Amino acid sequence: MKRAAALAICIFAFLFLQFCNAADITKGYAFSPGEQNVTHTKLNNLVDAAVINTAFFTDKSADTTPADADLVLIYSAADVGFRKITLGALIFGNAGLITDQTEKAAPVAADYLLIYDVAGTALKKATIGNMISNSIAATPAVSGVPSTTGSILIQHGGTNGTVTVANLARAIFTVPFTNLPALSDPTNGDALLVFDRSANANRHINLESLTTNLPLAGTLNGLFDITVTMFHVVQSNQVRKLPFVDVWNNLLLPTFALEASLPTNFLSFEYTLPAGGLVVSTNHGLGSQPYFCRWVLVCKTNDSAFVVADELDVAAFYNSANGKSSFTTGSNQTNVFLTLTDIGEVDVRDKVTGNEVSLTKTHWRAKCYAAIFLTQ
C-alpha cells in the first residue's frame, strides 16, 4: 500500500514537471534510472526545492505589438497573492506612475523626460533643455512685425502664463522708464534707444548725434510753424535748441532791408474738428496783431460734391437748426483762434447744386492764413 502511494506521488510530480518547459524550472531532485529508494524527502524536494529559472521569461517569444488587453502576472500586496492585470490598466490607466513619484520642484535642463520617437518608432529619453531649445528652433519665425495681440509664454510670480506682445512692450518700456528718476540736465553723451529702420534692429544714439545728424529739410515752402520749428546751436560746448522765431527776430530780420509794403505771412497746421467748442488757439509768431486772418476748412476725403484739396471759408458754414454761423474766428497780438458752436453743425451750400448739405466733420481739417505788414 505504501509503495503504491509513493508511486502515485512520484507519477504526479513527474507529470507536473513535464507540463513545464525544461528551461523554465530546475527540479529540486533528479531520480536516477531504476532508483528504488524513493523517500518522502526526495519527493518533497522534487517540488519544494524546484527553482523557476530566468528562462521562464527570457526564452519566451517576444510580443512586438502588445495590446491593452494583454495580461501581466503581478503580486497583489493587498490580496496577498498572485493576480492578473491587463497591460492597459497597468501602464496606460495607472496615473500613479506619475502622481506617485516624488516631485522635483526645480527641474534642470539636464533632467530627462520620456518621449516617443516618431521617426524611430520607439520610446526615447530627452533632456528638458533639448526639448525646449529644439522646440523653439523648429518653430517657424514670425515674418515682419509681430501682432500686438500675439501671446508669449512667461513665468509670472512662480507660475507659467501668457502675455500679449503689446502688454510686454508696455512693461518693458513704460514701467522701467516711468519709475526712473528724471534727467533734468541731459548732456550730449546721453543716449536714447531707437529703431534702425534700414537695419531692422534696435540701436542707441546719443543726444548730440540725434540733433546734429538729422536729414536736411530741403527747400522750405512756408508750411511750418515759426514758433515751434527749432534750430540747434552749440553753446558752451553743448547742443542747444533755439526757436525759429528767435532766429528770425534776432538774427535774420535785422540783416534784411525789406520793403515796407512786404507782408509777413503765417500758415498754420491742419487741425481736426471736435464735437463742439474751441478747435484751436495757436501762436502766430508775427509779433503784432495780424491785419489779415482767414480760417478755412480743407477737404481731406471726398464729401458731397467737394473733393480732396477743396478749401471753404469757415464763414460759409452755418447751423441749419438756427441759421447761425457755425464758427467764430479771431486773432490777437500772439494767437489766432477758431471755435465751433456747441451743437457742432457744419452745413453749407453744395458747390454744384447750391442745395443745403451737411458735411462729415472727420472729412475736413481747419487751417489758418494770417499776415501783417512790417510797417505795423
Does residue 94 form part of some domain? no
Please count the structural domains in the chain. Answer: 2
From first to last of its 376 residues, the chain has per-residue pLDDT tens of 445 544 555 555 555 545 455 567 887 787 788 877 878 887 787 777 878 778 777 777 888 788 888 888 888 889 888 888 888 888 777 788 788 889 888 888 899 988 888 888 888 999 988 887 887 777 888 777 788 888 888 887 778 888 888 887 777 766 666 667 777 778 888 888 888 878 888 888 887 777 667 665 555 555 556 555 666 666 666 666 767 667 666 666 665 544 444 568 899 999 999 888 899 999 998 888 998 999 999 999 999 899 999 999 999 988 887 878 889 999 999 999 999 986 667 889 988 888 999 889 899 999 999 998 765 5
177: left (phi over 0), alpha (psi -120 to 50) or beta: alpha
pTM, two decimal places: 0.34
Does residue 316 form part of some domain? yes
The CA distance from 188 to 194, in Å, is: 16
Grid cell at residue 250: 534776432
Q: Which of 127, 148, 152 is nearest to 139 (CA)?
A: 152
Residue-level pLDDT at 258: 47
Structural domain for 9, as ranges: 2-58
Does residue 154 form part of some domain? no
Does residue 33 form part of some domain? yes
Among 13, 40, 58, give the residue marking a domain's end: 58
Residue-level pLDDT at 49: 82
Task: Please report, for residues 126, 211, 236, 268, the alpha-carbon distance to residue 241 in angstroms, rounded to integers and kept in the order given.
Answer: 61, 9, 13, 21
Residue 284 neighbours by CB under 8 Å, 6+ apart:
227, 266, 268, 290, 331, 334, 335, 336, 368, 370
Residue-level pLDDT at 259: 46
Q: Which helix (H) or strand (E) holds 133?
A: helix 128-138
Residue-level pLDDT at 338: 93
Residue 142 neighbours by CB under 8 Å, 6+ apart:
150
Residue 130 main-chain phi, psi, to 5 deg: -70, -35
How many C-beta atoms surround the C-beta of residue 306 within 10 A? Answer: 21
Does residue 325 form part of some domain? yes
Among 58, 82, 100, give the residue marking a domain's end: 58
Does residue 309 form part of some domain? yes
Domain of 359, CATH number, reads: 2.60.40.10
Q: Cα 108 from chain centroid?
A: 26
Task: Please report, for residues 166, 184, 231, 290, 376, the alpha-carbon distance to residue 206 in angstroms, rounded to integers and kept in the order given.
Answer: 27, 16, 18, 41, 44
Residue-level pLDDT at 324: 83
- Contact predicate 361/346, CB 8 Å: yes
3-state secondary structure of 231: strand
Q: Letter for the amino acid at 25?
A: I
Does residue 361 form part of some domain? yes
Dihedral sign for Cα 110, 111, 117, 120, please: positive
Strands 263-267 and 238-243: unpaired
Does residue 328 form part of some domain? yes
